[in-house]
Chain A
Amino acid sequence: MENLVQLAMQNVNFAAIMPSLVLCCFGMAILLINVFMPRGKTTSASLISIIALLVTAVVSLQGWNNPQFGFAGHVALDNFATFFNMTFLLAAGLTILMSDDYLRREGYPIGEYYPLILFSTAGAMWMASGTDLMTIFLGLEVLSISLYILAGMFRHQLQSNEAGLKYFLLGAFSTGFLLYGIALLYGVAGTTNVADIGLYLSAHPAMIGNPMTVAGMLLMSIGFLFKIAAAPFHMWTPDVYQGAPTPVTAFMSAGPKAAAFAALMRIFILGLAGLQSEWTSLLWGLAILTMIIGNVTAIYQTNLKRMLAYSSIAHAGYALVGLVAANAVGVSGILFYMLAYTFMNLGAFAVLVLAGKKGEENLTLEGFSGFGFKRPFLGVAMTIFLLSLMGIPPTAGFAGKFYIFAGAIKSGYIWLAIIGVLNSAVSLYYYLRVIVYMYFKDPQEDYSWVSMHTGAVVSIVIAIVGVLYLGIIPGKIMEMAKLAIF
């Protein structure tokens, strides 16, 4: 017995899981604190969550240039994981900042909201630092299950119910495929460790063309592409994004997408490098399809949350271009892009959070008529975020797209880059339309219900600073993204 414990303890390295450990402890503590708080008082929970995120950020940064491995090769806190952890923490932090007043306005001041965000962030972290398919799978599920609840949080609102249920059914369905893919790969390689799978495949090149390997790769991709919201697995996105509480939508558009990209990159580049020609041709087609479907469908949307949902599909397509390129520029471009996207998209959602009335019936193009002059700060902020989403310099979106398309051209995917750029041109149309409504139409209302809650304003300011910083002097973060890839 003692031997067994010793054997187990040899592999334990708490430093490798410290960030998510801290986050989970805080999450459970907040759950307990909630029991003793009077109903409806959630501000303290949100404050503690912010502290939790800051502490986790500090802990996580210990792994920068100081990689920690542990648990028999199941977890690695390397630069890659640290960079992604920062992105997740940022997404969670901005989300929590904009949530408190929103929840009260909508009539659901539920304390459990914050721990759920923390748990899903921890799940995302496992996905980024998991080096074993088992860890990645568990991370994905922790992330997803928390999000199912969050999406259906407003339990008396049919919209939210539907969003939660739809997300759950389709999410669980895609998990089935993911697991089957893992099982097949396990059958081929005899291990679920990503690096060992890579070693096995390079030692046995004959297995690369084996239908079981290819099928495993394809099925596993489905699970991640679903989370990324890549076409044709994007069907859930618009409905869930529209129906879920706005801050949750904001979080969903950034956190899980980045987490799924992290897992996909680690598995494809480290584990399935042997199948690179297969997965690049698969992703090549999907990237184009995703960009086109996202952008073209977004043109027809009048509900802003739904429009941003389709735009989020399109942005997944741009990021996939970087994975297709599969060179240092493209891959570190994805890391940069996910961070940039977190800033700009969460910023845009924070504006929506403030601009909405109770029930959010007014978050349509028409509902934004003349908003820019009535609410100058929010108008300018929204304009900056939209310009960034379009990819206009000097914003983060431009730097990110530049990076990714440069990667694609460098690998010789000229047409892919051209299609991507043309897609950005299409996207101008629907982003621009929001600006047109905000500034060029006469106001129908005086927007007197918009009150500038501290939390949301802080998150908007952070997002503006981030978008401009990454847009004007991206050098430092690009350098870090370069160091973060394998």
Chain B
Amino acid sequence: MTSFPVLTSLLLLPLAGTGLCLLFRRKPDLCRALTLATTLVMLALCAWVFCQQPDAAGWYLREDYPWIERLGARFTLAMDGLSLLMVVLTAFLQVIAVLISWHQKKHPAFFYALLLLMEAGILGVFLASDLLLFYLFWEVMLIPMFFLIGIWGHGRRVYAAVKFFLFTLAGSLLMLLAIIGLYLLHGKQTGDYSFALEALKHTDCGAWEPWLYAGFMLGFLVKVPVVPLHTWLPDAHTVAPAAGSLDLAGLLLKTGVFGILRFAFPLFPQSAAASLPLLAFLALVGLFYAAWCAYIQGDVKRLIAYSSVSHLGVIMLGLAAANVLALEGAILLMLCHGLTTGALFALVSMLRRRTGTRELAKLGGMWQEAPIFSCFFLFFALASLGLPGLANFSGEILVFAGTFQVRPLWGALAVVGVVFAAAYILRMVQELLWGERPAGRPWPDLTTLEVVALAPLVFFTLWLGLYPETFLAHLHLPVKILLEQAAPLVAAHGGLP
């Protein structure tokens, strides 16, 4: 442990970058370089933390400063294995996001400033260990995404941006009420008014618990998104620019799952345990419904957006199974999904830049036209489908194994769902890469820069598929602690391991 405030600098660096970009808004090249430099420095910092060992309680780093003493809110950042992986994913994907939007022409400085601001918000969500601070970052991360979709989107961007904002904010306002309620309950019981997560875990909520739990979950489930609350996602994805889609799929959706694991489950274990069957039901419904929606989509990007909802269904199932294997699998799958789906979104944006369309009906024959593109696309599509040896497989197999341990029926249904995934992915690949090539001007292949942006994704997709233990090693402790703290979760499935 060092005394250098690593976590705080992880938040301040992107904020400084935002400020500089706004300041030098007339020099786009400088802004671009600044942004890339910032994201690379962040990645280096994260890589350094990744090589550290946690202390006995599972913390890699903890920082704690006074903030609003009158309310008992403190500026507490903490990093355990779970948040470490999420932070690494964020820092990594953000570098890719800068690379794939290298040639941003419309208001470039503003664009990069927003990317960095969003990074600060997302990192804050993953690091905050004080509920008020968490809520603050939770909202901060919304605003840049709103602008990214609204300004740089295509098509019905205003509609999609406003829908995104209203959906997620309405959910999080209820979470705010739940936070206040929990804070006051805890204060009344102990006389210590505090927002600290560790303190609030010991609150006896009594009859209020289901309501507070519901408030938290609504905020998170909208973000995940779970099926009846998912309608903002396809719209947002369809219109979002490349980097926006990447961040949305790779990071923003993860904050919802992360919130459930970090806050909702440990704070309200009784209600959480009672809600597991409902969560599993929603997860399975989402898995099948989204797969079916994906199958009938004509727009490649919308198809991938629905596939994303479907994958999140698997992750939610892992949460509902609530044992070591399933939880580790779900968290690993978050990483995998971030890489593969993010890469697919990036590829689709590159495709659109060349062909001017994303309609499957108007596309085809890419294999001959643009072989490099096609290789990448096939690789990530197969990874997304769950091909053994590539990223998603390792996560999914853990989730299924964990689910079978407790509820074989859920596991069996979920495995059937994966067959559906194969159906829509293969249909997409077939029509796009081998279908008939429509007449028109030629479509150039990927540029060097685009290959450079995608290569790291390929690397890590293989790594996660072949040797996930590197990442799982960081998860054993936090998952164990989570299940100890939320003992009723385990009991809900009959106390099986």
B181: chain A residues at CB < 8 Å are 409, 414
Please provide the chain B residues from 368 to 406 with a CB less than 8 Å away from any CB of chain A in the complex: none
Given the complex of chains A and B, what is the CA–CA distance between A104 and B135 in angstroms? 45
A373: chain B residues at CB < 8 Å are 107, 110
Shortest B447–chain A CB gap in Å is 28
Total inter-chain residue pairs, C-beta < 8 Å: 79
The answer to whether A425 and B166 touch across the interface, beta carbons within 8 angstroms, is yes
Taking the complex as formed, is A469 at the interface, i.e. its CB lies under 8 A from any CB of chain B? no
Contact with A393, one of B107, B110, B140 (Cβ below 8 angstroms): B140
Shortest A483–chain B CB gap in Å is 11
Given the complex of chains A and B, what is the CA–CA distance between A436 and B162 in angstroms? 8
The answer to whether A409 and B177 touch across the interface, beta carbons within 8 angstroms, is yes
Taking the complex as formed, is B293 at the interface, i.e. its CB lies under 8 A from any CB of chain A? no
A421: chain B residues at CB < 8 Å are 173-174, 176-177
The answer to whether A425 and B143 touch across the interface, beta carbons within 8 angstroms, is no
Knowing A474-B68, A482-B70, the reply to whether A428 touches B147 (Cβ < 8 A) is no
A439: chain B residues at CB < 8 Å are 147, 150-151
B180: chain A residues at CB < 8 Å are 402, 405-406, 409, 417
Taking the complex as formed, is B158 at the interface, i.e. its CB lies under 8 A from any CB of chain A? yes
* Chain B facing A: main interface SS: helix
Given the complex of chains A and B, what is the CA–CA distance between A424 and B170 in angstroms? 9
Contact with B177, one of A393, A417, A473 (Cβ below 8 angstroms): A417
Given the complex of chains A and B, what is the CA–CA distance between A432 and B107 in angstroms? 21
Q: Kindly supply a per-residue 1/0 record for chain B positions 406-445, scoring 1 wherever the CB is within 8 Å of any chain A CB and 0 otherwise.
A: 0000000000000000000000000000000000000000
Contact with A418, one of B107, B110, B161, B177 (Cβ below 8 angstroms): B177
B169: chain A residues at CB < 8 Å are 392, 425, 428
Please provide the chain B residues from 112 to 142 with a CB less than 8 Å away from any CB of chain A in the complex: 135-136, 139-140, 142
B143: chain A residues at CB < 8 Å are 387, 392
The answer to whether B162 and A432 touch across the interface, beta carbons within 8 angstroms, is yes
Shortest B395–chain A CB gap in Å is 33
Please provide the chain A residues from 394 to 444 with a CB less than 8 Å away from any CB of chain B in the complex: 394, 398, 402, 405-406, 409-410, 414, 417-418, 421-422, 424-425, 428-429, 432, 436, 439-440
Taking the complex as formed, is A479 at the interface, i.e. its CB lies under 8 A from any CB of chain B? yes
B71: chain A residues at CB < 8 Å are 475, 478
The answer to whether A406 and B68 touch across the interface, beta carbons within 8 angstroms, is no
The answer to whether A473 and B166 touch across the interface, beta carbons within 8 angstroms, is no
Please provide the chain B residues from 147 to 189 with a CB less than 8 Å away from any CB of chain A in the complex: 147, 150-151, 157-158, 161-162, 165-166, 169-170, 173-174, 176-177, 180-181, 183-184
A393: chain B residues at CB < 8 Å are 135-136, 139-140
Given the complex of chains A and B, what is the CA–CA distance between A475 and B320 in angstroms? 40
Contact with B67, one of A417, A440, A473 (Cβ below 8 angstroms): A473
Taking the complex as formed, is B69 at the interface, i.e. its CB lies under 8 A from any CB of chain A? yes
Taking the complex as formed, is A376 at the interface, i.e. its CB lies under 8 A from any CB of chain B? yes
Size of the B side of the interface (Cβ < 8 Å), in residues, is 34
Shortest A30–chain B CB gap in Å is 40
A409: chain B residues at CB < 8 Å are 177, 180-181, 184
Shortest B158–chain A CB gap in Å is 5
B68: chain A residues at CB < 8 Å are 473-475, 478
Size of the A side of the interface (Cβ < 8 Å), in residues, is 32
A418: chain B residues at CB < 8 Å are 177
Q: Kindly supply a per-residue 1/0 record for chain B positions 90-112, scoring 1 wherever the CB is within 8 Å of any chain A CB and 0 otherwise.
A: 00000000000000000100100
Given the complex of chains A and B, what is the CA–CA distance between A358 and B245 in angstroms? 43
A478: chain B residues at CB < 8 Å are 68, 70-71
Taking the complex as formed, is B25 at the interface, i.e. its CB lies under 8 A from any CB of chain A? yes
The answer to whether B165 and A428 touch across the interface, beta carbons within 8 angstroms, is yes
Q: Which chain B residue lies CB-closest to A332?
A: B70
The answer to whether B70 and A479 touch across the interface, beta carbons within 8 angstroms, is yes
The answer to whether A394 and B140 touch across the interface, beta carbons within 8 angstroms, is yes
Contact with A475, one of B70, B107, B147, B150 (Cβ below 8 angstroms): B70
B162: chain A residues at CB < 8 Å are 429, 432, 436
A429: chain B residues at CB < 8 Å are 162, 166
Contact with A406, one of B139, B150, B166, B184 (Cβ below 8 angstroms): B184
Given the complex of chains A and B, what is the CA–CA distance between A197 and B110 in angstroms? 59
A428: chain B residues at CB < 8 Å are 165-166, 169
The answer to whether A440 and B150 touch across the interface, beta carbons within 8 angstroms, is yes
The answer to whether A405 and B177 touch across the interface, beta carbons within 8 angstroms, is yes
The answer to whether A440 and B161 touch across the interface, beta carbons within 8 angstroms, is yes
Given the complex of chains A and B, what is the CA–CA distance between A470 and B466 in angstroms? 50
Most buried by A among B139, B151, B161, B184: B139
Shortest B128–chain A CB gap in Å is 12
Contact with A392, one of B25, B69, B139, B177 (Cβ below 8 angstroms): B139
Knowing A402-B180, A440-B157, A475-B70, the reply to whether A425 touches B173 (Cβ < 8 A) is yes
Given the complex of chains A and B, what is the CA–CA distance between A478 and B110 in angstroms? 34
B135: chain A residues at CB < 8 Å are 393
Shortest B212–chain A CB gap in Å is 11
B161: chain A residues at CB < 8 Å are 436, 440
Q: Kindly supply a per-residue 1/0 record for chain B positions 51-86, scoring 1 wherever the CB is within 8 Å of any chain A CB and 0 otherwise.
A: 000000000000000011111000000000000000
The answer to whether A410 and B165 touch across the interface, beta carbons within 8 angstroms, is no
A414: chain B residues at CB < 8 Å are 181
Given the complex of chains A and B, what is the CA–CA distance between A421 and B174 in angstroms? 8
Given the complex of chains A and B, what is the CA–CA distance between A473 and B75 in angstroms? 11
Shortest A399–chain B CB gap in Å is 8
Most buried by B among A376, A392, A414, A474: A392
Please provide the chain A residues from 242 to 267 with a CB less than 8 Å away from any CB of chain B in the complex: none
Please provide the chain A residues from 138 to 154 with a CB less than 8 Å away from any CB of chain B in the complex: none
Shortest B454–chain A CB gap in Å is 30
The answer to whether B69 and A475 touch across the interface, beta carbons within 8 angstroms, is yes
Q: Which chain A residue lies CB-closest to B171?
A: A425
Given the complex of chains A and B, what is the CA–CA distance between A380 and B114 in angstroms? 12
B170: chain A residues at CB < 8 Å are 425
Given the complex of chains A and B, what is the CA–CA distance between A449 and B181 in angstroms? 50
The answer to whether B136 and A394 touch across the interface, beta carbons within 8 angstroms, is yes
Given the complex of chains A and B, what is the CA–CA distance between A260 and B20 in angstroms? 43
Shortest A402–chain B CB gap in Å is 7
A376: chain B residues at CB < 8 Å are 22, 25
Q: Which chain A residue lies CB-closest to B181?
A: A409
Shortest A338–chain B CB gap in Å is 17
Given the complex of chains A and B, what is the CA–CA distance between A406 and B162 in angstroms? 28
Given the complex of chains A and B, what is the CA–CA distance between A428 and B166 in angstroms? 7
Q: Which chain B residue lies CB-closest to A414?
A: B181
A394: chain B residues at CB < 8 Å are 136, 140
Given the complex of chains A and B, what is the CA–CA distance between A410 and B71 in angstroms? 13
Knowing A393-B139, A421-B173, A428-B166, the reply to whether A436 touches B150 (Cβ < 8 A) is yes
The answer to whether B165 and A432 touch across the interface, beta carbons within 8 angstroms, is yes
Given the complex of chains A and B, what is the CA–CA distance between A417 and B143 in angstroms? 24
Shortest A35–chain B CB gap in Å is 47
Most buried by A among B25, B107, B135, B173: B173
Given the complex of chains A and B, what is the CA–CA distance between A474 and B143 in angstroms? 21
B147: chain A residues at CB < 8 Å are 439
Shortest A283–chain B CB gap in Å is 21
Q: Which chain A residue lies CB-closest to B71?
A: A478
A482: chain B residues at CB < 8 Å are 70
Shortest B20–chain A CB gap in Å is 15
Given the complex of chains A and B, what is the CA–CA distance between A432 and B158 in angstroms? 11
Q: Which chain A residue lies CB-closest to B69?
A: A475
B69: chain A residues at CB < 8 Å are 475, 479
Knowing A393-B139, A393-B140, the reply to whether A424 touches B173 (Cβ < 8 A) is yes
Shortest A454–chain B CB gap in Å is 21
Given the complex of chains A and B, what is the CA–CA distance between A405 and B173 in angstroms? 12
Shortest A465–chain B CB gap in Å is 15
Shortest A328–chain B CB gap in Å is 11
Given the complex of chains A and B, what is the CA–CA distance between A424 and B177 in angstroms? 12
Other 10 A-B pairs with CB < 8 A, given A436-B161, A439-B150, A479-B69: A387-B143, A392-B143, A392-B169, A393-B135, A402-B176, A402-B180, A421-B176, A429-B162, A473-B67, A475-B67
Pairs A–B under 8 Å by Cβ, sample size 9: A373-B110, A402-B176, A417-B180, A425-B170, A432-B165, A436-B161, A436-B162, A440-B150, A475-B71
Instruction: Please name the 5 residue pairs, one residue from A and one from B, whose CB atoms are nearest each other, closest first.
Output: A393-B136, A475-B68, A478-B70, A440-B150, A421-B173
